Every structure is written in structure tokens, then in C-alpha cells.
Structure 1
Amino acid sequence: MLYFDHCASTPVHPKVADTVYEVMKLHYANASSLHRAGTEAMKLVERARSTIADGFGAKPGEVLFTSGGTESNNLALKGIWSRLGRTARHMIVSTVEHASVYRAAKQLEESGVDVTWIPVDERGRVSVQDVASAVRDDTALVSVMHVNNETGTVQPIREIGAALSRYPHVRFHVDGVQAIGKLPLGFREWGVDLYSGSAHKFRGPKGVGFLLVREGLDLAPLLAGGSQEQGRRGGTYNVPGIVGMAQAFRLATESLAERRTRMFGLRRKLLAELARVPELVLNGFGPDEEERTAPHVVNVSYPGMRPEVLVHMLEKHGVFVSTQSACSSKSLQPSRVLSAMGLGAERASGSIRISFGDEHGERDIDALAERIRSAVGELKPLERSRG
């Protein structure tokens, strides 16, 4: 089996799996309890908080634990709006955001919020000038993701943050779920106010994530409950998940430069192999534009072919890839991201995403390329019969 769907979920690091098991076995007390077992569990939570804060140059109190990226993104948009909605009526969101941002913004729009949807170019990148020009006196929030989950396109986060520094009333949210462990990270120095992360995207456990919240920023909770997380996110602490996430975060970021170099090498090799398959078209940035793309994602289209047909044909050959994002993979609609890039209905309706990670090497890329060629070869008669 060749698993090339890391953007959907990554295999848990063996060390992390061992740690989660040990914490589950030994530290099962509620971290909010006042007795010694509870305080020992809370020490683990706070140590994990410091680990993640250090990786961003943030303060421990700026790390808020959640159940994952979807909750973090919803909390960022709706939590800000609950606090600022009386004085601000406007929000700015890019058209290529993950569904958890896009649909949260749509819900707010349906409730009366004025949302400006920022377009992208044919590579899926937003214009800093477009974002800055959209700011109004009543703008509460700008939300632009760090790395696109379908194409791997890297957005100009630092530059957007600098442009927004002229508007101190505007909060800047970044969905960083696909960036952690793949790109250098910044927070305060980038002008970011809120940054979302999810453990299972960087070899941690599922069901746990975080939201960085700049010190002094008022954020309303999504859930009514206890006073955990400074009253902003009630609920019993997932101590094993939080500890496992912090360990996975440390492992993913401590050797970042080396891992990026290796993954970019694999990406270049894969793109060279796919260039030999004329039926496939690359979506996003090529090998000569690596500063604008993440090192672990390749998105290609087989115009005129339904993506699920190609996915299942590759599965028959022992290869696992995806269509669109995992959250939207069962949809038969064209990719919203590729449509926003203006790539046309055939390309937007016929794309697959290949994403890889630490366990892959050049032999895996060779095997993947060979099986893609075989799968496309088997599908060619079907394409001709359709034509």
C-alpha cells in the first residue's frame, strides 16, 4: 500500500502513539481536579502549552486547546464576531479557504454579516493589495489560510500582516493547519492575531488542536461550559491528546529545514514523472516556484475524467490519494478551490491531490508514478468512448 493522502491525515508518529498510551494509562485524572492526580495532569497540559507557544514565539497563555482545526477556525471567526458584531459589520475571507472557514463565514453572512470574498489568481494566490483595499472602518476580521489544503499554494501571510498593521481595528486570522511541520512559523512578528492548528496533520492524534489567540484579544466561547482555557473553551481536557500533539509538534518542527529539503526533492521528482503523462495537468505552482508552494502537495487534473474514477483505479493499484479535501471528497461538485482559480469546469471536476510525508522516499515516488501511468492507461479507452 502506498498512502499519499497526508493532507487528509498523517500516520501517527510511533513515539507519539507510545506517549499517548502512557498518558492514558498513568494520568487519567481530570486535569481540572484539585487533588494531586489532577494537578499532575494539569502540569502535563501546561508543559504542552509551553512547547507549542515556544514554536511560534508566542506566550503560553496565547495557546488555546481545541478539538481540532474545524473548531479552531469556527472559534476564531464566530468568537471574534460575538465580541465585535455590535460595532463591526464586515469580514474579509479568501475564496479558497478550507470548508471550516468558508462555511463558517457563509453562516455569518446569512445572519447579516457583510463578507467580502477575496479572489485568487490562476495559481490560487491572493493579492495583498486586494486584501488591503477591501478593509473598511467596520471590518472586524480578515481570514486567509497559510497553505491551501488542495493545491499547496502558500499565501503571503507575512505581507498581509504587514499591510493590515495600518488598521489596528482589524484582527487577522490564519488557518495554519497544512503549514505546521512544512513551513517556518511566525505569529506576533507576522502581525497575526489568531492561528489555527490540528494535531493529526503533523503526525499527532486525531481530535485535538489549538488556536493561538494574541494576548489581550477578547474571544467569546462557542460552547457553554466550564471555565477551562480562560473561560474561552469549556470541557474536560484531553490530556493524552494534548501531550501527544505537543510531542508531534516538537518532532515536526525541530528538523524542519532538513525535512523541507527532502520533501521538495520528492516533489520535484514526482512533477518530473507526471510531466511524462500528457493526460494530466498540474494545478498550482511548478518546481521553479517552490517559495510559493508547500513541499508536500501536488494537485493534478485529468480533464474530462471524474476524479473518483481515477482515485478508485489507483486504489486498485494499491495507491491512496484523494479528491479535493477530505471534508469535501464525497461531493460530486467541481472543486470550489480550482473553480475560484478560474481553471474551467473540466479541470475543476477532474482533479486529484497527492500529498506525502516523512515515510516516503524516492522509491515510493517511482512506484507512485508507475501506478499513475498504469491507471491512466487503463482509463484512456473510457475517455475515448466518452468522446
Structure 2
Amino acid sequence: MIYLDNSATTLPDPTVLTSFQQISSNYFANPSSIHPLGGQVEQLFHMAKKQAAELLKVRQEEVVFTSGGTEGNNMAIKGIALQHQQRGKHIITTEIEHPSVLEACRSLETLGFHVTYLPVNQSGVVAVEDVQQAIREDTILITIMHVNNEMGSIQPTKEIADIAAKHPKLFFHIDNVQGVGKVPLSLSHPGINLCTMSGHKIHGLKGTGILYVDNRTTLFPLFHGGEQERNLRSGTENVAGSVSMVKALRIIKEKETTTLDQMYEIRNVLFEALQEIPEVIVNTPNNGAPHIVNFSVPGTKPEVMIHMLAEKEIYISTKSACSSKQADASKILKACGFTKDRTTSALRVSLSYETTLEEIYQFIETLKQAIRQFKKVME
């Protein structure tokens, strides 16, 4: 099997699974319980938070464990909007955000908020000048992803953070679900207030994640109850999930330090090989993230190509996993200004640090065969 759909989800690391199982079996008590067993679990939870903070180079109290990217994005966006709506009701985002960001923004529009959806260029990158010009007196939030989940384009988050830092009345949230461990991002920048991460994108477990909330930022909580997580996320803590999340974060950070260049090399081989196939048009910019390559095969149906590759046990995807079962054109590629023949025939290959050159060569040959087979059937 050749698995090239790592932006949808990743294979859990065996040590992550082991840590989750061990904690679940041996430290099952409620961390809020006052007996010694509960105290042990509470200490373990605080240790996980301390380790996460060290890995992210932030303060321990700025780490909030979540169930993943969707919850983190909703906590950040709705939390800021509802907490600070007396200050203003204007939000800035882009047209190519993940559905959990776009739909959160649209839900707020029904409550009287105003959202500016900024365009992107053909590389899938928003202009810093557009962000600057979109800021109004009543702007309370900028929410822009770091790495696009379909295109692999990298947004100028540092430059946007520079702008945000000059406007202390607004907050800047980054959806970094696709960037963690692959595209470095410093959370110490004074212009970055919130950042979302997800465990299952970094060989962790589904249902785990982190929302960074800097200590200057206040949120209206989506959950009310026992006041866990600084009253930001009530509910009994998923201690085993949090420990496993930190384990996955540690592993991916180590690989980012030691193996990132190798991932870029493999990605470049894939990029160049795809460009040499006459029927293929590469959509991802050359300076994109090291693990995502999006391409179109005009005249073909992406779902057919995916099934043809799957017959050879090679697994890729079309769009975001959250919208891949929708048969319409890719909204991301459409926002980039691509023609219909490209937006309706797009495919995505997403690598992990375990992906090998041999797997890429085999994928390329199988893709060529699938294209030839498709063309023959259509003749």
C-alpha cells in the first residue's frame, strides 16, 4: 500500500497509540477528583501541558487541549466574536479557508457580524496589502490559515502578524492544522493571538488537538460547565488524548528538525515528474509547503482516477477530506482563478515523513497508466 493522503489524516505513530493505551488503563480517574488517584491524573495532565508549551515555546497557561482543528477554529473565531462584539463586529478572512473557518464566519454573519472574504492570487496566496486595507475601526479578528489544505500554498502570516501587532484592538488567529511540523511558525510573535493544531494530521489520534491562546486574549467559551481549561473548555479533560497529542507533537517537531530537507527533496521529485506528464497541470505553487502537491488532469473525472489508483493500492484524494464527497468544482482552485477544466479535475497528493522516493516513482508510473487507460475508454 502507498498512502499519499496525509493531509486528510495520518497513520498514528505506534508510540502515540501506546501512550494513549497506557494512560487510559493506568490513569483513568477524573483529574478533578480530590482523591490521590485523581491527583495523579491531574499532575499528568499538567505535565502534558507543560511539555506542549515547551515544544511550542509558549507559556503553559496558553495551551488549551481540544478535540482537533474544527473545535479549535470554532473556539477561536466564535470565542473572539462573542467576547468582543461590543468593540466591533467585523472579521477578516480569505476565500480559501478550511470549512471550519468559513462556516464559523458565516454562522456569525447570521448574528449580525460582518465578514470580509479576501481574494487570493493564482498561487493561492493572499496579498498583505489587501489585509492591511481591509482593517476597519470595528475589526476585531483576522483569521487566516498558515498552509492551505488543498493547494499547499503558504500564507504570509509573519507579515500579517506584523500588521496585527500595530492594531492592539484586534486579534489574529492562525489555522495551523496543515503547517505543524512541516512549515515553521513562531508563536512568540506579538501579533499572533491564537493558533489551531490537530493531532491526527501529525500521526496523533483523531479527537485530539491544541488551541494556543496567548495570555492577553479573552474568549467567550463555547462550553460551560465545570470551568476546566481556564474556563475556556468545560468538561472532563481527555488526559490520555492530551498526552498522546504531546507525544505526536514531540515526534513531528523532531522530524521537522532532522528530516524536513528530505521531504522537500521528495516533493520536488514529485513536482517535476508531474510537470513532465503532458496531460497534467500542476496547480500548487513551486514555493508551497513540502507535503502537498495539487494537480489537475483536464478531461478526466477525479473520482474515477482515485478509484483506478486505489485498485493498485495507491491512495490520494481530491479536495479537503471535509468536502471530498461533493462532486462540484474545488472552491479553492476556483478562488485562485483557474478554469473549470482544472477546478473539476483536481487531485491532491500529500506526503508524510515516511513517504519514500520509491513510492513516488511507483505512483507516477501508475498515474500515467491510469491516464492512458481513461483516455482509451473514452475514445
Aligned partner of 2:359 in structure 1 is 364
Deviation at 1:356, TM superposition (A): 1.2
| Partner residue, 1:267 | 267
Query: What's the counterpart of residue 311 of structure 2?
Result: 316
| 180-189 or 148-157: bigger deviation | 180-189
The 5-angstrom pairing of residues 42-81 of structure 1 reads: 42-81=42-81
Q: Secondary structure at the match of 1:188?
A: coil
* Unaligned 5+ runs, structure 1: none
Match 1:328 to one of 311, 317, 323: 323
* Aligned equivalents of 1:305, 1:372: Cα separation in 2: 12
Q: Please give the residue correspondences for 1:1-387 in structure 2 after superposition, counting only pairs within 5 Å.
A: 1-189=1-189, 191-286=191-286, 289=287, 293-382=288-377, 384-385=378-379
After TM superposition, which residue ranges in structure 1, 4 or more long, deviate above 2 angstroms?
none
Q: Which moved more, 1:252-261 or 1:353-362?
A: 252-261
Contact 2:116–2:134 under 8 Å retained in 1 = yes
Q: Determine if contact 2:207/2:241 at 8 Å carries over to the other structure.
A: yes
Output the amino acid matched with 1:213. Answer: V
Which shifted more, 162-171 or 116-125? 162-171
Equivalent residue letter for 1:264: Y
Partners of 1:236 and 1:101 in 2: CA distance? 26
Aligned residues of 2:121 and 2:336 also touching (Cα < 8 A): yes
C-alpha contact (below 8 Å) 2:97/2:148 kept by paired residues: yes
Amino acid across the alignment from 2:333: L
Q: Is the 8 A contact 1:198 1:210 kept in 2?
A: yes
SS at match of 2:152: coil
**Match of 1:327, SS?**
coil
Task: Describe the SS at the equivalent of 1:260.
Answer: helix
Which blocks of at least 5 consecutive residues in structure 2 are unaligned?
none
Residue type of the alignment partner of 2:305: L
Q: Look up the SS of the partner of 1:267 in the other structure.
A: helix
CA offsets, 1:16-45, max 9 Å, x none? 111111111111111121111111111221
Q: What is the deviation of 1:137?
A: 0.6
Conserved? CA contact 2:163–2:191, under 8 Å: no
TM-fit CA distance, 1:12: 0.7
* CA apart distance, 1:111: 2.2
SS where residue 91 of structure 1 aligns?
strand
CA contact (8 A) 1:122 1:284 kept: no
**In 2, are the aligned partners of 1:55 and 1:185 still within 8 Å (CA)?**
no
Distance 1:97 1:190 in 2: 23
For residue 254 of structure 1, report the CA deviation from its aligned partner: 2.1
Q: CA deviation at 1:209?
A: 0.7
| In structure 2, C-alpha distance between the alignment counterparts of 1:150 and 1:121, rounded to whole Å | 15
Query: Residue deviations 1:176-220, cap 9 Å, x none?
Result: 001111022211326210000000110111101111001031101
Question: TM-score when scaled to structure 2?
Answer: 0.98
Alpha-carbon distance in 1 for matches of 2:201, 2:297: 27
Corresponding residue pairs, total? 379
Contact 1:317–1:375 (Cα < 8 Å) also in 2? no
Work out the CA distance in 2 between the residues paired with 1:304 and 1:369.
Answer: 18
Letter in 2 for 1:250: R
Q: CA deviation at 1:140?
A: 0.7
Q: CA RMSD in A?
A: 1.2
Partner amino acid, structure 2, of 1:74: N
- 3-state SS of 1:347 partner: helix
Structure 1 residue identity aligned to 2:53: A
- CA distance in 2 between counterparts of 1:225 and 1:339 reads 42
Q: CA deviation at 1:358?
A: 2.1
SS at match of 1:178: coil
Identity of matched residues, %:
39
SS at match of 2:177: coil
Letter in 2 for 1:242: S
Look up the SS of the partner of 1:152 in the other structure.
coil
**TM-score by structure 1 length?**
0.96
